[in-house]
Amino acid sequence: MHHGLIFHGETLHLLPSGALYWPARKTLAVSDLHLGKSERLARRGGSLLPPYETQATLEKLDRDLEQTAAEAVICLGDSFDDLAAAQGIEESARLWLTRLIAGRDWTWITGNHDPGPIDLGGSHRAELRLAPFTFRHIADPAETAEISGHYHPKARLAGQSRAAFLADAKRMILPAYGVYTGGLRSHDAALTDLMAKDALAFLTGPRVLAIPMPR
C-alpha cells in the first residue's frame, strides 16, 4: 500500500515501512537505521532496552528489498548509532548485511552518528547526486530536488503519532527507518522553518496516508 508521488519529474514510491523506492533507478533509499542503538545506550550507561532492534530493522529492510527487487540501496546516514556500534556489530548481523549488500550498488551516506567508513562493503560518500536528485543526511536549505533524513519526522492523525515523510516542491525528508528511533514532531521549528507552508506529511503504517503537514 505504497503512495506514488511525482517529485521533480520522477515517480517515487513511499513505502509503509518508511523506505523510498525509485522504480526508474531500481533504487531503495532508507534513512537513520541506528543499528546498535541498544548496545550504545547500555555501553554509555543509558536505558537498558531489549537488544533486538538490529535484527528487527534488518528483517524490515530484507522484506523491502525482496518486495521491490531493488538493485541499488542508498542509506542516508546514521545507519549505525555510533562508530563503535558499527565496528562491534554481531557476527550474525554482519553476515546478514553482507548478504543484502552482495550484488547491489550500495551507498552509505555519512551521518552525524556514524562518521568514518565501515568494513561492510559498499561505497561511502558525504552525499550522492543522481540526477535530478541530491541524497544527503541533513537538508541544505539552499538546495532543491533534495532527499535527506536526520530529523526523524513524525506527525499526528486522529490522536496517533506516526513516523512520516515530509515533502514540498523543493525537498523530501525521510522518516527514521530503525525500529528503536524516536521522532521529531512536524510542528517543531526545525521542520516548519525548513519546509514550505504547503508541505505534505505522508504517514507510515499499514498504508501511507497523505495529509497537510501539521504545524
pTM: 0.91
**In what helix (H) or strand (E) does residue 52 lie, and over which residues does it extend?**
none
Judged by DSSP in three states, 164 sits in: strand
* Residues whose CB is less than 8 angstroms from the CB of residue 159 and which lie 6 or more positions away in sequence, other chains included: none
| Average confidence (pLDDT) over 73-79 | 94
| DSSP sequence for 168-189 | -SSEEEPPP-STT---EETTSH
CATH numbers and ranges of domains, the chain: 3-212 (3.60.21)
Q: Is residue 113's pLDDT more than 80?
A: no
| Average confidence (pLDDT) over 153-169 | 94
Would you state the pLDDT for residue 40?
47
Would you state the pLDDT for residue 84?
60
* Side chain identity at residue 76, one-letter code: L
Cα(106)–Cα(213) distance, integer angstroms: 31
Q: pLDDT exceeding 70 applies to what percent of the chain?
A: 87
Secondary structure E strands in the chain: 3-7, 10-14, 20-22, 27-30, 72-75, 105-109, 123-125, 127-130, 133-136, 146-148, 153-157, 160-167, 171-173, 184-185, 200-203, 209-212
Contact 164, 154 (CB under 8 A): yes
